[in-house]
């Protein structure tokens, strides 16, 4: 008697970080990605939870080699641990034919702060500098501060780690710095600040952008599934905001679909202009774009017709969550299409 045929055409692992207990108890139903599991199943893709930790990495390797693809949700820095071991594992399984989203090489191209420097000539760009050494930062930051406040960002990080607003003081040789994870600023010497940033150069670089005066009006996050918009998020932020009144308006991110009328110009820019320019500049194949990524935009100067301009603040690729309710369906469509073209 023939065995019943599986209703699924393809299989993917949904990988996130956790301990041995989380791995043992993981199911699609108790996952924070349950909507993604359901959307994939509806399109004939079997999704399996894959909980990762360095202590059982070899078990994960075997699990990933048994599926067609893997969707990865792991922060670049989490609980003091980096993705170094995981990225090596993912490169290995990708070399053996498993489709990986986002591939570590794609993350290095578009998911680090250096993307702000490499795409500074695009419509979302600003007067961005890149420091590869502490000595370069010590020499080049002061003349830039003479033009206004700057924002210093370590190349890899999340949650505001390694992000600072820096401004020159009019009546003192000191500078004022505000850590994005803190509520109040402090004054110190440039040398002291550079020493604080020294660890950023141990395995990376530092990006320097002009501070955007309209930051207090909020940040728009455009969610992308491949090269298509999957929704938006908007929120007033506290990070790098000095004014108490503006800080008091900060609140949670509010999500909306890709049809939100407030952001249709941004959607057109992202889908029709900026994403194609990004892939061209960074030499990323369209099919290698992450299945879920987002771009954070600050409001720049008003354009001559009175509309908003947008300045890119960062691109998130490694672990985009949460996201708009409509995003899982868009993710599933792109995954199914990508797996169909792979096989």
Residue 342: its pLDDT value, please? 64
Find the DSSP H helices in the chain: 20-25, 34-42, 57-64, 84-95, 104-110, 114-118, 134-145, 190-196, 244-248, 264-268, 275-282, 327-342
pTM of the model as a whole: 0.93
Three-state SS annotation for 68-137 = CEEEEECCCEECCEECHHHHHHHHHHHHCCCEEECCHHHHHHHCCCHHHHHCCCCCCCCCCEEECCHHHH
Other CB atoms within 10 A of residue 22 CB: 16
State both tokens at 254. 């509010």
Q: Say how far apart CA 18 and CA 16 lie, in whole Å.
A: 7
pLDDT of the chain, 343 residues: tens digit per residue: 444 456 778 999 999 999 999 999 999 999 999 999 999 999 999 999 999 999 999 999 999 999 999 999 999 888 788 899 999 999 999 999 999 999 999 999 999 999 999 999 999 999 999 999 999 999 999 999 999 999 999 998 778 889 999 999 988 899 999 999 998 899 999 999 999 999 999 988 999 999 999 999 999 999 999 999 999 999 999 999 887 878 888 899 999 999 999 999 999 999 999 999 999 999 999 999 999 999 999 999 999 999 999 999 999 999 999 999 999 999 999 999 999 886 5
325 within 8 A of 260, measured Cβ to Cβ: no
**SS3 for 256?**
strand
pLDDT in the model for residue 2: 44
């Amino acid at each position: 008697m023939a065995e019943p045929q599986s209703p699924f055409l393809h299989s993917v692992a949904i990988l996130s970080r956790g301990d041995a207990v989380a791995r043992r108890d993981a199911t699609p139903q108790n996952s924070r990605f349950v909507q993604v599991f359901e959307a994939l199943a509806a399109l004939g893709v079997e999704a399996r939870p894959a909980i990762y930790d360095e202590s059982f990495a070899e078990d994960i390797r075997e699990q990933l080699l048994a599926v067609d693809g893997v969707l990865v949700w792991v922060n670049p820095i989490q609980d003091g641990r980096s993705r170094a071991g995981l990225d090596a594992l993912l490169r290995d399984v990708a070399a053996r034919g498993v489709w990986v989203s986002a591939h570590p090489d794609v993350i290095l191209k578009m998911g680090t702060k250096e993307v702000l420097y490499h795409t500074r000539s695009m419509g979302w760009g600003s007067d961005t500098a890149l420091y590869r050494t502490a000595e370069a930062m010590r020499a080049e930051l002061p003349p830039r501060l003479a033009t206004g406040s700057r924002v210093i960002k370590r190349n890899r990080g999340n949650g505001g780690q390694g992000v600072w607003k820096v401004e020159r003081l009019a009546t003192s040789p000191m500078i004022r710095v505000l850590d994005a994870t803190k509520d109040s600023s402090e004054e110190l010497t440039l040398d002291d600040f550079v020493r604080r940033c020294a660890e950023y150069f141990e395995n990376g670089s530092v990006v320097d952008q002009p501070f955007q005066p309209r930051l207090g009006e909020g940040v728009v996050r455009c969610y992308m599934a491949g090269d298509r918009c999957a929704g938006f998020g908007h929120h007033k932020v506290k990070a790098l905001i000095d004014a108490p009144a503006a800080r008091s308006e900060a609140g949670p991110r509010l999500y909306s679909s890709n049809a939100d009328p407030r952001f249709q110009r941004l959607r057109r820019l992202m889908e029709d202009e900026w994403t194609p320019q990004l892939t061209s500049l960074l030499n990323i194949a369209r099919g290698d774009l992450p299945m879920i990524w987002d771009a954070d935009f600050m409001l720049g100067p008003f354009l001559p017709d009175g509309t908003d301009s947008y300045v890119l603040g960062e691109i998130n690729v490694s672990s985009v969550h949460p996201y708009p309710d409509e995003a899982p369906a868009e993710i599933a469509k792109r995954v199914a299409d990508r797996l169909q073209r792979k096989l």
